[in-house]
Structure 1
Amino acid sequence: MLLAACGGGGGSGGGAVGLPTSGADAGATVTAQSAAGNAAATPAAQSAPGVQAQLTLTPEEVKERLRDAESARIRDMETDTPGVPKRYAEVAEVADIAKSEALVAKAAALPPDAGTRGSWSAPIAWPIIAIHAVLAPNGKVMTYGTNQAGAQTAQLVYDVWDPVTKIHTLLPNTTGSDIFCNSQLVLPVSGQVLLAGGDIRGQKVPNGSGGILVNRGIRDVNLFDATTQTMVAAGMPMNYARWYDTLTTLPDGRVMVMGGYDADGRSVPQTEVYNGVGPGWVEMTNARYPNGAAYPRSYVAPSGKVIAFSSAQLHELDPNGAGALRVLPQTLPVATDWTLPHAMYDRGKVLVGGADGTAAVLDINGAAPVSRVVDGIGPTHQIWATMTVLADGQVLNTGGSPSANAAPNAGYTADIWNPRTEKWTIGASAVNYRLYHSTALLLPDATVLVAGGGAPGPAIQLNAEIFSPPYLFAKDGSGQRLPRPSILSAPKDLALGTPYRMSVVSQKPIQRVNLVRTGSVTHSINFDQRFLNVPFTQSGSSVTLNVDETNNVLPPGHYMVFAIDSDGVPSIAKIVRIGVRAA
């Protein structure tokens, strides 16, 4: 068993220990680097440029021996108490009990019920708290939200992680903007990450009491390019300062921003659209959103209208011209708010988490929304949980607790909702609970990155875990990974209404092909998240998609294409760009 210090954390907490994502990744490394490619700005890393952290460790051994210590900490944690850094330096003690390679090999085996409950990796050290996470078109993941000690501020650094190489690149934020608790999504044409708003902290505005203003909005707009791994000011600030705002890609490729708090801490009812040219942001003067400021839930319906809600009350917004917003007579059958999860899991259908562990399906396919109660996940997975649409269209729910940002009775299991049966399956348990400021993001390999939590919170979660859903494993109790289809080639652009051909090799016939929008998540909301099963034909290794849809159903942007075989096993996705459909 190999143990080494890592440059992942910061502050007085010392170095972090990186853990492999699975038994198969035992040799993976985690390296934090500056923009120049040198070791990151942590004391340990600065003293040894280029140092890499490795820990060959078995997921089940870590879980078994850290669970008792974790349970003891939970009993003493309260929402208002200082966070407990969780960088996994304590696994040094765990290393001492592994006396032989035989023990390590035995513990490395995947659980026999992985085919029904899935499997978690061991925790992975993360250089910051991943309050925000976005999947870029090149497959890399940008996260940001705190400094290396896990303290609130996104003005200093952000991280880029490569899921294939497992390498972290910690980069300086040179824009001057504190992008803490802003909104972010991938622009449909350029593939850059648009970051709108943030915290006024970085402007150092005096608060009249000897300090500075914090937790208020700014007008700043920044762009991150995942290819060059650089972030720059867009030069097109919003008309209104925003913090806790929501971004939505519209059918014509424009991006709409709504909600948030301004520089005085007041709700922002004005709605704006961005096209990246000319004036940049234009206000829709007839589309004032009155129902709550913090991260409104917003979905483009098949009609092209936008359905938005911050409570049970539904609103319809026409994004054309000056816009038009009206309060709908329909309401959700469950109480909900911005602390509860939701996900668009099919064409015009949204699973909405409700209070007290309830849930509802909101159908926005027709002229008027229709909603109904379905089985809920229960109160354990309630407040600050995150819903993630999986490669097969099922919905994963991770994190959450019965009380806001409180550890007692927090949810550890990865629970999966099946849209066909509308029933939940209780999945495998993670090592860590995930509360406020946690994230979950579907990766191209059909696993889910689950990270963050804290700032504030009962624990500073400078770590992540990766959940491998049941569809990756045999159902015979062996816990073995199944062979996967492989997409050998696929064009980078998919034109709606035009045949799209890709080459697929598979031991089993291809049964389904699914499109899943690349994720951009924070605060229990995944901006633009959506899923669609698409028709296809197959001749040998040639698979042709027939995506005869409008941009109301598939707004322009980047999507993961998964080919799924007759055993339900998904391929590693190809990320494609869907543009505005030609008239």
Structure 2
Amino acid sequence: MANLPDGRLVSWSAFLAEGFVPTPGNYTVSAVFNPITGEFFDSNNSAHDMFCAGVTLLEDGTVLATGGNSTVRYSSRFNLDTLQWESTAPMNSPRWYGTNVTLGNGKVFSTFAQGAEEFGEMYDPVTDSWVNLPGTDMRTLSVEQAGVNARSNDMGTGQWYAYMHVTPDGKVYHPGPTETMHLFTTEGQGDVEQLGPTPLDRKHIQYGTSTNFSPGKLLVTGGEDLTYIPNGATNEAMIVDLTTAKPTARKIDSMHRTRAFHNAVVMANGEIIIIGGNGNGILFNDEDTRLDSEIFNPDTETWRLAQPISVPRNYHSVALLMKDARVISAGGGLCGEGCYVNHLDAQIYTPGYLLNQDGSLADRPEITELPDAANPGEDIQLQTDHEVSRFTMIRLAGTTHGINTDQRFMDIEFSANDNGSGYTLNLEDNPNILIPGIYWVFALNSEGVPSVGAILKIKVLEQ
């Protein structure tokens, strides 16, 4: 699933609506959903089986889906004008369960995946072309993943989606799910540096989440270590600081619940909500489901339980922030027609910041004027209908299997204009922090109530 700039969402499954086929079918069931009207319409891809593809959003907000089922090299973009999928240049290697990450220059680094060569490749959306980066050696990841897959356990085969994040100096950091952390360079032929094991007790944290919740800061949560006896999910969490000379990771207080297959979403106020997952870590299984949500406060580094979901959201579930600052949690299953863990529905969470103490909807500020686009480091003018005390921005995102390399949250420095007419916002000047793409800008009043997100495109800086 992925955000569209106007607030709609595009979702997709596989060759079938409720299941997948073992060999690529060159077709994907897809639909666009309007959360305001509740309307759907089909946007099926007739040329690419995107089951378990890599996903990321480009500078113009276009969704890029790469690889997928078994031996797929195909790549597709979701056209924002026609609201249909269209083919792009195929990758050099097939990539199943691969992770994509958009870089500060607008290109996409496609990484570690089943079926791929032992290195990454990079996509240039301007030239619609792929180039191999043989220096981004991923053999350590492959060896450690193979060791996990070789273990005898009843959890199902380990999968390859890697946690990948752009660092403030333009490199790509890998904090899991394999044991050894890495730092990749994507310039020239590419390069890699091993950074040692994570500080977590369980080292192979598959089916967890990794979230960029502040410039240069990551929150890694949950998952399971298939080599660990007894099997099952963990509630461990760690924070990674990417602003140091080399990324540093430290354990923090654990979540209230053990979770695998959950989702993590940064909300308009910078807190992170954790939704769903199960405790047994078994694929296509709703037993031991975690219905309680929980919220992480990055200022205090503490957890609190939040409103529960009523439908299990486990393997293949997704969750995203929406333009109106609510959170959608959807899907799960895809194990064949009639399978009991298939959940072809969604729930929407209304955060407390949108409510008065009596539970009624709070009055919201409104952004009435904002430029369409800006460069990193630019000062922009913004108008609101009421006085506000905080501005935040969050990059629109695509997600699959709990992996979301797109979402990036930051507070915006600002000042009220002397003439009493609006505000001047001072945008972050580092394009490796303010990654090119479409962002929603939120204005929050003194009570912490956010506006609906206003669209701002951050452009690739001209070299």
TM-score, scaled relative to structure 1: 0.70
Find the partner of 2:63 among 187, 193, 197.
193
The match for 1:295 is 161
Contact 1:330/1:370 (8 A) holds in 2: no
Find the partner of 1:233 among 77, 87, 104.
87
Contact 2:102/2:406 (8 A) holds in 1: yes
Q: Quote the Cα distance in structure 2 between the aligned partners of 1:497 and 1:276.
A: 23
The match for 1:551 is 431
1:316-336, Cα deviation, whole Å (9 max, x unpaired): 011111110111136333434
Find the partner of 1:447 among 315, 318, 326.
326
The match for 2:227 is none
Q: Cα–Cα, structure 1 residues 350 and 558, in superposed 2: closer, same or farther, change >3 Å?
A: same
| Residue 147 of structure 1: how far off its partner (Å) | 6.2
Q: Quote the Cα distance in structure 2 between the aligned partners of 1:195 and 1:428.
A: 32
1:321-352, Cα deviation, whole Å (9 max, x unpaired): 11101111363334342301221111111111
Q: Which segments of 5 or more consecutive residues in structure 2 lack a partner in the other structure?
A: 146-158, 225-233
The match for 1:424 is 303
The match for 2:39 is 167
1:27-69, Cα deviation, whole Å (9 max, x unpaired): xxxxxxxxxxxxxxxxxxxxxxxxxxxxxxxxxxxxxxxxxxx
The match for 2:231 is none
The match for 2:361 is 481
* 480-489 or 310-319, which deviates more: 310-319
The match for 1:155 is 27
Find the partner of 2:265 among 374, 380, 388.
388
1:565 maps to 2:432: no
Contact 2:11/2:30 (8 A) holds in 1: yes
1:468-527, Cα deviation, whole Å (9 max, x unpaired): 11111113xx11111011011211102222211121112xx3121111111211101112
**Count of matched residue positions in the alignment of Structure 1 and Structure 2:** 423
Residue type of the partner of 1:450? S
Contact 1:353/1:360 (8 A) holds in 2: yes
Q: Cα–Cα, structure 1 residues 375 and 255, in superposed 2: closer, same or farther, change >3 Å?
A: same
| Residue 310 of structure 1: how far off its partner (Å) | 2.5
Find the partner of 1:332 among 176, 180, 199.
199
Q: Quote the Cα distance in structure 2 between the aligned partners of 1:552 and 1:276.
A: 17
Find the partner of 2:132 among 277, 280, 283.
283
- Greater Cα radius of gyration, structure 1 or 2: 1
Secondary structure at 2:431 match in 1: coil
Contact 2:17/2:334 (8 A) holds in 1: no
Contact 1:358/1:378 (8 A) holds in 2: no
Q: Cα–Cα, structure 1 residues 436 and 581, in superposed 2: closer, same or farther, change >3 Å?
A: same
Find the partner of 2:401 among 518, 523, 530.
523
Residue type of the partner of 2:347? E
1:194-246, Cα deviation, whole Å (9 max, x unpaired): 111121xxxxxxxxxxxxxxxx1311011111221121111x11100111111
| Residue 568 of structure 1: how far off its partner (Å) | 0.6
Q: Quote the Cα distance in structure 2 between the aligned partners of 1:522 and 1:443.
A: 16
Find the partner of 2:342 among 440, 457, 460.
460
Percent of aligned positions that are identical: 30
The match for 1:134 is 2
Q: Cα–Cα, structure 1 residues 564 and 278, in superposed 2: closer, same or farther, change >3 Å?
A: closer
Secondary structure at 2:353 match in 1: helix
| Residue 528 of structure 1: how far off its partner (Å) | 2.0
RMSD, aligned CA: 1.9
Q: Quote the Cα distance in structure 1 between the aligned partners of 2:128 and 2:84.
A: 24
Residue type of the partner of 2:333? G
TM-score, scaled relative to structure 2: 0.87
Q: Cα–Cα, structure 1 residues 149 and 180, in superposed 2: closer, same or farther, change >3 Å?
A: closer
Flag the structure with more relative contact order, 1 or 2, with Cα contacts below 8 A and sequence separation at least 6: 1
| Residue 353 of structure 1: how far off its partner (Å) | 1.0
Q: Quote the Cα distance in structure 2 between the aligned partners of 1:486 and 1:528.
A: 25
Contact 2:44/2:84 (8 A) holds in 1: no
Structure having the larger proportion of residues in strand? 2
Q: Which segments of 5 or more consecutive residues in structure 1 lack a partner in the other structure?
A: 1-132, 200-215
1:123-180, Cα deviation, whole Å (9 max, x unpaired): xxxxxxxxxx1002232210001467522268242100122322111233222x1111
